[in-house]
Amino acid sequence: MAKETLTEVITVGNSGEEDVRKNRSALPWMAENGIFIVTGLLVLFSALFVDGFASLVNITDVFHRAAPIGIVAVGMTFVVISGNYLDLSVVAQVATSAVILLAVSNEYGVPLGMLAALGAAAVYALVNGIAVGYFKANAVIVTLATTYIGVGVLRFFSGGSIFFGPEDGPIRAFGTSKLGPVPYSAIVLVIVTLILAFVLSRTNFGFLVRSYGSNESATRLGGVNTGFVIIGAFFVTALAAMIAGWVLAAFSNTAVSSMSTGYDFQALAAIIVGGTSVFGGKGSVLRTLLGVIFVSVLTNILVLSNISFGYQQVALGMLIVVAVTVDALSRKVGKR
Amino acid sequence: MSQTSTQTMQIGLRETTFVGKLRQRIARRTEGRAVALLAVVMVVVSFTQPLVFTAYPVSLGRIALIGLVALGLTAVILMGELDLSVASTLAVSGVVMALIPDVWMGIIVALGVGLVIGLINGFFVAVVGINSFIATLGMLFALRGLAFILSDEAPVRITNTDAGIAFGLPLLGPLTPRVLIFILAVIALQIFVSRVKAGREFFAVGGNRQAAYDAGIPVKRRIFTGFMISGFVASLAGVINTLERTAADPRAGQTVLLASFAAAIIGGNYLKGGRGSIVGTLIGATALGVLQVAFTLSGVQVPVQEIFIGLILLLAVTTDPANLRALMGSIRSVLQGRLKSPS
């Protein structure tokens, strides 16, 4: 009964979207499909004109750097689609997971290390999810607070020191293995993306996340325990951040509390450039993967061209603002 | 939810006794949580680290630093928006000021930079219609990059070091210019939001934006004003920092960000807008400033300090009356098993 009502609300929403599509205008189309063209052009441009981009070493390097950021981004897509802006605490989560994996593995073996990291991810998901889902607190502020708490706890217990993994353990073996030019970490990214894409578009939970993002009160009135959905969205993000931490730890075989600085921002850039709306309700995991490719290639050619860190930050900041502007303006055009 | 609606609601049952009037007055205020935090902090600190009060110039300086940024945030939060870019605005304007040889010229240009940043933020939020959380987050990172570019990724010394040293000395009694500027800013903003029409309209814009439009309030212009205030105040904090330290650090502002947010939110400023006060922010900033100085004097490690400030921010953002109401609603619906079907 309740379920039917909910479906009706969603169908009504969808039919509205079709009207927008009929309204032929360049901007909404650009917001919808621009990323395919822009990413294609960027890759083509870098292959043709940027020295050293098309080399095997560089491609492998791009994969290595894109994998952890990409895994974070596809996970965080859930929080963005649920209409809660973003999860800033992924920075703390990735570092925590990496440090715990190496520190615990050295003492008690890899399975326990993975289990401990899973526990930490669950704690993050619960704190963020309860504060946002049940207290209805602002996600940006909540996750800003949990970032500082998390990094503080990590630095307090690790003393800011660097953890090294064993030279011949399974973690190291995983981090160095490659399938042709593609490192295992990139394969993990693809697997995580496919699983999450399935979860978002085919399962009941994914449906509820999208539904919450497009109309919160309708979802609640449909009899859904919305707090639970939000905890779930943050749990998906936390799990992805945990896996990203493992991949990062395996790649460098070291872990330190500051290793994931800037991940929140790059992941958000990838998600928004991919076309997931910060207004919630609209977006897809596969698009985020495309956004990850775009952001990683862009960062890579900036690095290859010896452009300093400051300019890279400015470029990424502008990228976010431009992408959100396109999204916002296309919505305005659609309304008319 | 706005102040005016509470007042009209209570006209019918006007209290006549003194106690009744007092109770009504207290019920209208929004600073309760800030006062509670301040009381706890003061009691704990006076037992564990009384040095905070004997070394009060240090404490005042710290309060002024947190409070100045938090004041600008308050202006924006009253309208239901947020300015995350303040930390980078502080850094950029500090670097700009240090790069210009002449002190006064540097100060003027740096403050102008703050106004321009506010203008850009206001443009994205009011004209383009981007959510301010995301727009100013983008600006936070872009401006941080700009600060790195301008400073070549290293602290910049100011040319006229004497001016900086003179600025750090007490001017009026034990009060340094920084504290005096902060006091002036508090008074100015308090008058602005409580006595000036434009400032009063901030509450209307935050309380119910559609109603504000319909009442003929120039909403977009108010949003511009709010962001320009927060940009200006943040650059003022940057200028003061640079003068006091005689150098500008492009990484500046990252530690202030968390504390100033905590101060503004625990001060009773509701993040969705329409409710809050300058006095609340002042009390919140005092509590957090005293706490930070007490931590530093007791030699508490920086990570532990961050954990505590982070916890206070988390507590502040979850214990707002509106959030507690939402929680009670969630609990009730869970206890009832399911919500009533709309049909």
pLDDT at A25 (0 to 100): 64
- Is residue A45 in some structural domain? no
Residue A260 lies in a domain: yes
Distance to chain A for B185, nearest Cα, Å: 25
* CA trace torsion A81, A87, A88, A92 (10° rounding): -140
Please enumerate in sequence order all residues whose Cβ is within 8 A of that of A277, keeping only pairs 6 or more positions apart, or say none.
A80, A283, A327, A331
- The DSSP code sequence of A217-264 is HHHHHTT--HHHHHHHHHHHHHHHHHHHHHHHHHHHSEE-TTTTTTHH
Q: Which residues from B are below 8 Å from A325, CB to CB?
A: 124, 128, 130
pLDDT at residue A57 is higher than 80: yes
In chain B, residues 254-273 whose CB comes closer than 8 Å to chain A:
258, 261, 265, 271
Domain count for chain A: 1
pLDDT at residue B264 in the model:
92
> Is pLDDT of A315 > 60?
yes
What is the domain range of residue A161?
Answer: 56-330
Going by pLDDT thresholds of 50, 70 and 90, the confidence category of residue B340 is very low
- B322 contact residues in A (CB cutoff 8 A): 136
pLDDT of residue A12: 42
Residue A32 lies in a domain: no
Which domains does chain B possess?
A: 56-319 (1.10.3470)
Is the pLDDT score of B3 beyond 80? no
**Candidate from B21-30, B56-65, B298-307, B334-343 with smallest mean pLDDT:** B334-343
CB proximity B229 to A under 8 Å: no
pLDDT in tens, B84-114: 999 999 999 999 999 988 888 999 999 999 9
- Confidence band of A240 (pLDDT split at 50, 70, 90): very high
Cβ distance B141 to A137 less than 8 Å, yes or no, reads: no
- A317–B271: do the CB atoms touch at under 8 Å? no
Is residue A7 one of the residues assigned to a domain? Answer: no
Residue A3, in any domain of the structure: no
Distance from C-alpha of B229 to C-alpha of B148, rounded to nearest angstrom:
24
Instruction: Report which of B262, B266, B253 is spatially closest to residue B320, judged by C-alpha positions.
Output: B266
Cα–Cα distance, A25 to B187 (Å, whole number): 50
pLDDT of residue A274: 87
* Residue A17 within any structural domain of the chain: no
Structural domain contains residue A34 = no
* B150: nearest CA partner in chain A: A310
The residue among B330, B226, B217 whose CA lies nearest residue B269 is B226
Contact B145 A317 (CB under 8 A): yes
Nearest by CB to A321, from B138, B146, B149: name it: B138
Question: In angstroms, how far apart are the furthest CA atoms of chain B?
Answer: 75
pLDDT at A16: 43
